[in-house]
Amino acid sequence: MKKIFFLLLTTFFVLPTVAQQVAQYSQYMFNALYINPAYAGYRGPANLHTYYRSQWTGMPDGPRTLALAADMRAANDNMGLGFNLMSDRVGLEKRIYAYANYAYRLRVGWDPEDRLAFGLGLGVIHSAYDNAGVRTGDPEPLNIENSFLPDARFGVHYSNNRFFAGVGVDNLISRLIFNENNGSTRIPPVTQYYINAGGIVPFASDILFKPSVLVKSAHNSAGRGWVSDLNAAVIFAEQFTFGVSYRTALSSGGNLSNDLARPNSVIALAEFVAAGQFRIGYSFDYALNKLHNQVGSTHEISLGYSLIKGTQRVRTPRYF
């Protein structure tokens, strides 16, 4: 019975809005390369980061996302190079996203850390369908072929020691190439927009307050919705970060019921940094709508490592 409910739930979330097929995650504030290619190189030396997200743990075959990102600075801090890979599964559909990212970083002030970066990512999207998981009354198995689509992403990112702002756009090419008229039942890629900003407010010598906001939307005419994350975190001794986020819809498409149209949730998150190199983060999403008892909560864990050689250090800590 739960599997049937989940398939119906996926239909409500995915088919009418189309945008829900885009992966959801909460720890983008620990590494913005996932939402903006212009972030590549921000942290200086080579950095590795990965996260795993288990969404709707109360449902069988709920959405699962595994991602990896690597980036570094080059050419005397004026360039950033990066790579990100993501595997996402929603229902019976599986997608793998892979991008190589390039960022050019301009100095826009007297401080060397005052930078405006422009980023471009080129890659591919592999889409597959778990035919073995389909149960129908038809004796013939459902057969939906795999597909590869070229894709691109673009972003702008500004940062200094106390403030950042960025705009990112994903799935720029794949949506244009996808052929919706060939009888495919596959969900087309969706162009996704991200706008984020935040800053650092010192409370004491070793306590910093880090507020930020993210607004995101998917390009889908009548089903298009705007969702915002309001984030507040406190950093202790540049090692411990504890925060909370409130996710809500600024607007939603007209194709959803009232129970589904406003994806309100509260997110608790934490990150620990050891020796300035190792990072581990955890977040817990709790949905506030009427479906929480059926779908359960969401857990996300992340790991990061900075490849610092010898006495090499960045000029200032990287809070964003």
Task: Examine residue 74 and state whether it is found in any structural domain, yes or no.
Answer: yes
Task: Examine residue 17 and state whether it is found in any structural domain, yes or no.
Answer: no
- pLDDT at residue 129, rounded to an integer: 76
- pLDDT at residue 14, rounded to an integer: 40
Q: Rounded distance, CA 320 to CA 298, Å?
A: 24
Is the distance from CB of 198 to CB of 210 less than 8 angstroms? Answer: yes
Question: CB 132: neighbour CB atoms within 10 A?
Answer: 9
Task: Examine residue 19 and state whether it is found in any structural domain, yes or no.
Answer: no
Q: Could you tell me the CA-to-CA distances from 200 to 209, 210, 212, 320 in Å, in that order?
A: 6, 5, 9, 9
Task: Examine residue 16 and state whether it is found in any structural domain, yes or no.
Answer: no
Task: Examine residue 235 and state whether it is found in any structural domain, yes or no.
Answer: yes
- pLDDT at residue 19, rounded to an integer: 39
- pLDDT at residue 42, rounded to an integer: 92
Q: If the chain, 320 residues long, is cut into consecutive pieces of 10 residues, what is the mean pLDDT of each piece?
A: 43 39 78 95 91 83 90 89 92 88 93 92 88 54 70 96 95 78 62 94 93 85 72 95 90 52 81 91 86 76 82 62
Identify the three-state secondary structure at position 63. coil
Helix, strand, coil: what percent of the chain each, to 5? 15, 50, 35
List the domain range (segments joined by +) for residue 37: 1-11+26-135+145-307
pTM: 0.84
Total domains in the fold of the chain: 1
Partners of residue 107 on adjacent β-strands: 115
Task: Examine residue 221 and state whether it is found in any structural domain, yes or no.
Answer: yes
Q: Could you tell me the CA-to-CA distances from 208 to 61, 125, 173, 235, 319 in Å, in that order?
A: 40, 39, 40, 5, 10
Task: Examine residue 317 and state whether it is found in any structural domain, yes or no.
Answer: no
- pLDDT at residue 89, rounded to an integer: 86
